[in-house]
Every structure is written in structure tokens, then in C-alpha cells.
Amino acid sequence: MIIKTTEYLAMVRDKTGYSDYKIAKEYDINQSNLSKYSSGKAALSETHAWLIANILDIDPAEVVANTKFEHAINTGNNSKAKFWQEQLNKIFSETSPIRIQIAQFNPIVGDIKLNAQKMLDLSIEANNAGAHLIIFPELALTGYPPEDLLFRDGFTNQVKEEITNFCNLVPSDISILFGAPNKTDDFLFNSAYLIQNNRIFNIYNKQELPNYGVFDEKRYFSSGVDSFVFECQNTKIGVLICEDQWVEGPISSLCQSNIDIVVSLNASPFQLNKQSERINICKNYALKFDITFIYVNMVGGQDEVVFDGNSFIVNNQGDVSLQLPAFKELSVSHIDTTFTPSLVSNVSLIYSAIVLATKDYIQKNTFGGALIGLSGGIDSALTLAIAVDAIGAENVHAVMMPYQFTSDMSLTDSELQAETQGVEFSSIDIHSMVDSFNLSLSDQFRNTSRDTTEENIQSRVRGTLLMALSNKSHKLVLATGNKSEMAVGYATLYGDMCGGFAPLKDISKTMVYQLAKYRNTLSDVIPERVITRPPSAELAPDQVDQDSLPSYDILDDILMRFVEQKQSVNEIIENGHNSEDVNKITSLILRNEYKRRQSAPGPKISSNAFGKERRYPMTSKFKP
């Protein structure tokens, strides 16, 4: 609110009880000047504005700015009027409670310019909405993880250039906290940059560097040693980056500075039950140190990891006062009451994670859509539903490739699902192609028995056709195999393993069934008998998976114990499993490492996913 000179004088009269004559005499103000002030013909001089501010016990800067603005209006100086209006806005904003914008951000690794532009747009929006501070996740500018891009000088130079540009373009009224690499001399840090008044006010270097699971930070970064606390709106804010919060040292050091709020910038991948762990540790800190804890997390798919967002605030009473949704990119105020904690099933979370990972892999790599070999089985049916939910039916092409062992049920159900989901559907008969392969190999295979070799030719023909369609249409082939199959090698290299991305790679067969049933609760897209029929590769007459494998509930429990919990053969047997099954399954897992090394990437969901996270030798004589 703009206050004029006449109003300030009225406030002085009210407070002192003096007349204008008495005011002039008591405070040594020239009577002629005071008359001009009282009549509104002149604005207070800077000296008199400061004097009156002291009399009224208010901020002198406020009175000076108001009277300077008044003088500019009176003299018709529009540029000065605009300047003093901006100063008044700043002064008044500093007296209001802090408003922090939380940007749950989905960057693209390496697209530094685009990420910076998105951050700029969100900063401008936040400033226009009255925010004093906007916070972005860990390494928001580069995306996470940038991996060996960090070894390139050209990459780190682009980071510096974009930060300089960003500083010049952002509104001066808002503070901005974001993650980016920081190269100082010969050291590279994973850092948080604070921008205030269009300049880098300070840089915090992450202290705790994770080097387990999907994380390789010690390969790239040096550890920081100093804490970082800054003030905004008379609020003391301490900064952490991701792993810093899982070790008490960094936050204990921060809280020695009597801070009000801790802000933690994160690039924390999705994993079942991880969110409850995050909230619990932040609750403990909030109660122990009497602070508000703001956790902002990245969202989006990046190769084999998917970030779930799930940003939240825990107040100093240990209550979750704000909970952003999972797997959605958005920017909200920390005092927003729209987003409150809600219960979401694990199956729903997993499905959302896979959909977002698939969407981002396809779109961030600029593919024109997705291709899926539809078999009539539950894996390809679920993969089709995921693809449609990720990128839309108009961008998905389903291809049925029948051979003599393909059942009428599979033909009917595949076409029905494609029609229900509204995708392009093609059927390519592969009899002549498989026969040609068999004929060409007949001399080489003379005096041998028919076995999985001939079965795999069918699968490899299908893989070749899908890759040809992919080349022609620039659509990505989605492999449909699941974790149970990949674990024991129940997949054909260069056949049904063909593809650029495998949405179900970390999904057990038993979870495939749960996901299919869950998806049908949203809308009926997977035929019921696809879910209930015995699973089969249909590469031989009357073939079903359980001809060569134990039931999937048994198989998946053994896999979970051996792969994720790292139990030994004896431990698994002691937990009630048949020794023959355990020895067979664990042997198959180790023997098929070479296949998995050549498989398509897929999103990590479990605590130990095949791919980037699980690094076992292909050549090994280890006996578990």
C-alpha cells in the first residue's frame, strides 16, 4: 500500500499529539517545508522521511521509498516511479511470511539448454505468484545421472554458460535453489546453487556420495566439507543434497546454526516402500531439531531408473503437511493445501512407474511410437496396455505373427485387445519364412533331433520382422519379457528378446498377473482368458511354461530370495523350498548372465534389478 506524505504527517500528529507548529519546532523542520508537506504540494525530503520514520518507529527505507515514489508521480517521472514501485514491492515482500515454490521437475539428461529454459519459465511463474524462493531437485540442470558426460570439458563448460545466462534472465525478486555440477579447479562437485539478485550467491557441495545400487557418484564427484545456511524472508534455511540426509552428520552440523527449514534436493529413484523410509527419517529430524523439512525430488524416466517425485514437507511437529503426487511433474507452493497424503496401492505405484518410464524413454529419445509383438499371452497384453497409456493408441502398432503352433485363442484374443485399445493391428504369417530357414539348415541339421533350436527359429523370425518394421517406421520395439523369464533364460536371444526397451524387465510373472488385473479395474482392456489361461511360449505342440519350470509362485519366491535378498541355496531350502527346484533355478540364473547382458534396458522397480544395478560376471564358477 502506498502511503503519502500527508498521511505520514497525520500519523505523527496522532502519535505525538503535536500541532504542525509544534512538530516544526520540536523536530527542526522549516515551517515553509512543513506547510508544503501538509498541503500535499511536496513529498518529504529524504532527511525528513528518515526523521519521521524514527518518530513512528517504522522502517526508514519504507518511508523513503514511498516519498520518492510520490515525488516521481508528482513530477511525471515515469521511469523513477517504476523504479521506486519495484523497491516498495521488495520492501513489503520482505515483511511477509516466506513462500517457497517446490518444483517437482522432469529434466532430460544432457539437454542443458532445455532444462534451463524450463527452470526459467517455472521461476518466472513462481515469482508472478508471489513466491520468494523456488527449489529444484538435485542436478536439475543436467538431469540425473549424467554419468560419463561429466568427464567431458564441453559438458561442464555448457553448464557454466547456462548458469550465467540463467542468472541474467531470472527475476531479481526471487531466490532460486537448484542442483548442477560445479567444477572448481580440478575438482568436480555435485552441488546446489543459490541465485539471488541475478547472481550466484553461494554454492553448496554435496558431502555424502552414494556408491551402491544404481549410484556411482564417487566415480565422478569429490565430497564437500562445509554446511550451507542462507536467509530468505527472515527465515534461516539449511541445504542438503539427497544422500546427505541419510547420514546424521550433515544435518547435525546445519542445525547448530539455529535454522528454521531444511531443504533437501533429491534425485531418488523409485523403489517399493522407499517413500515411507524417506518420510520417517525426515520426521525424526523435524522432531529432534525442531525444524520444517522440505524434500523435493526429481520425477521422470531415465534409461533404467524412474524417479517418482513424491516430494513432501514435514513440519516441526512431525506431521506431513504437504505430499505431492507420485510420477507427475508439477510446481506448487509449500503452503498449498490441495495436496495431502493419500494411500496408494503398491500395484498402482508400480504400474504408474512403468508407464512413465516407457513414455519418457520413447519421447526423450524421439521415437515415433512403439511396436509390440502381440502373442495372445499376458506379457504382451500388459505391455500393449502400458504402451497405450504411455504414448496414446495412435502411436502404437501391434503385430501378430502366427505360426502352426499359435492357437486360435491367441489369434482371437490378440485382435480383440488391439481393437479394444484402438491401436493399429497387423498380422504377418511366418510359415514360409520359418520353413525357408529350416530348409536352408536341413543339410547342417541332418541326423540331429528336433529341439529348442527349431523353436527358437520361430522367435528369431518374429524378432527380425519387428526390427524391420521399427527401421521403416522409426517406432521403438518394446520387448515383452518379464523378470522371471529373464532370470532363468526362458527367452530367445535375438528373438523375443529383441527390442529397445523392456517395460516388464524388473517385473516378476506373479506381479505381471497383478498388474494386468489392476489395469482392468481402470478399464477392461485385457481379455479375461488371457489372464486365466496357462502361460505358454507356443513354440511347440501343447507347450506350457510349467513343462520346464516350477509354478511361477514357487519360481518367483526363489528368485526374490536369491536375487534380491541374496540368500544362499541352503537358506532358501531352509525356508521351505524343494532342493531340486532351488538348485535348478539358481543354476539357471547364474548360467544366463550372458543373455541378460544383451537384453534391452527396463525400469528398476525392485531392490535389485537386472541391468545397471546388478553386476555379475558372465564367466564365473561360483556355486551359491
Annotated binding-site positions for deamido-NAD(+): 456, 485, 595
Which of the 8 DSSP states describes residue 614? Answer: B
Cell numbers representing residue 550 in the block: 516350477
* Phi, psi for 515 (deg, rounded to 5): -65, -40
Instruction: Tell me the C-alpha distance between 265 and 533, whole Å.
Output: 47
CA dist 473 and 373 (Å) reads 15
> How would you list the strands of the sheet with 100-104, edge to edge?
199-205, 187-196, 175-184, 133-135, 100-104, 330-333
Cell triple for residue 350? 508400480
Name the nearest CA neighbour of 492 among 396, 616, 375.
375
DSSP states along 299-360 = EEEETTEEEEB--EEE-TTS-EEEEPPBT--EEEETT--S-------HHHHHHHHHHHHHHH
Alpha-carbon 92 to chain mean position: 35
> Which cell goes with 32?
515553509
Which has the closest alpha carbon to 488: 577, 572, 378, 592?
A: 592
Q: What is the DSSP letter of 280?
A: H
- Cα 174 off chain centre by: 24
List residues forming the annotated binding site for L-glutamine.
Answer: 212, 268, 274
Beta bridge partners of 501: 478
- Three-state SS for 345-369 is CHHHHHHHHHHHHHHHHHHHCCCCC
What span, in angstroms and rounded, lies between the C-alpha atoms of 581 and 313? 47
What 3 state SS string does 197-212 have?
A: CCEEEEEEECCCCCCC
Cα 220 to chain centroid, rounded: 21
Collapse the DSSP code of 10 into the 3-class scheme (helix H, G, I; strand E, B; otherwise coil) and give the result: helix
Record the cell numbers describing residue 554, joined without a space.
514357487
- 556 closest CA partner among 479, 480, 485: 485
8 A C-beta contact, residue 508 and residue 358: no
DSSP 8-state symbol, 478:
B
Chain centroid offset of residue 345 CA: 19
Kindly report the number of other CB atoms within 10 A of residue 522's CB atom. 11
- CA gap 352, 328 in Å, rounded: 10
Strand partners, 101: 134, 333
Residues forming the active site: 138, 206, 242
> Could you tell me which residues come within 8 angstroms of residue 146 by beta carbon, excluding any fewer than 6 positions away?
109, 110, 139, 155, 181
CA 496/CA 173 separation, integer angstroms: 56
